[in-house]
Structure 1
Amino acid sequence: MQPTLNPEPATGHDLVLADKWSIKLYRYNRGDIVLLRSPEDPNMMLIKRLLALEGDWVTIPGSLELAKIPKGHCWVEGDNPEFSADSRSRFGPVPIALIEGRVRYILWPPSRVGRVASHVPAGRLLVKNDDALTDSSHFGAF
């Protein structure tokens, strides 16, 4: 999740606080950083940004393709696209049930203590599930 987490790997790793109750209560949003089980290895935990929820449309980087997120799934991405195994590069939509927590705070190192910002990177989420996909102006960016 560099550069959001561990911006300087030579100085060590960020220790974060993950809120597991938010997930159980369905309180998560596009742009949140989440803790999830790897779709490839259930023993491995990943930290990724939650980009899209079921019914949303996302652009596929490097192509003109769009992906609609199926029911019960979400789209997760790391903040460093060149070095991230995520929905965009490897997994595609992942089951939302794999999400185990929402990363809320950086606890260590002391110089980085604070709340973790939630945001959706510009140009990645094309249409939210509550938007109508009938207007061709949504495709003007291509």
Structure 2
Amino acid sequence: MSQESPLFQKARAEVLAFHRFFEEWYDAATADSVDFARCDRTFGQSFHMIPPTGRLFNRAETIELIRANRATYRGDFTIEITDISAGFETADTIVLTYVEAQWRAGKHSRRQASALFTASSSAPNGVEWQHLHETWLQMPDN
């Protein structure tokens, strides 16, 4: 299993690009220029997400959550992704782990994420998100 495999490169590019999407979608100054249809093309039909709160979201609930947070911030939301690495990998499936640091309106948090991707020629960057699980490394500052 090489971190330089084509599937790893696609999944890594997707993690970085999708978090840039969030920064733009959540910022009032840029939200109008964002193509929200990307979410439909990004998540597999059976996608599930478990955020650090522990609640289980299905695909439709995840998309609605993202849609509802449109233009929530005014230049005070950023994300930094670090420590991307591959875990399990086959010819068309890969698990990545990464650390996501967020700054939201002056509050800082960090979470460890693991994400399952499958190859898909119709998805952005050639992979679909199938499952995402996040846990707190640092809860938001008070």
Q: TM-score, normalised by structure 2?
A: 0.28
Point out the structure with the larger strand share.
Answer: 2
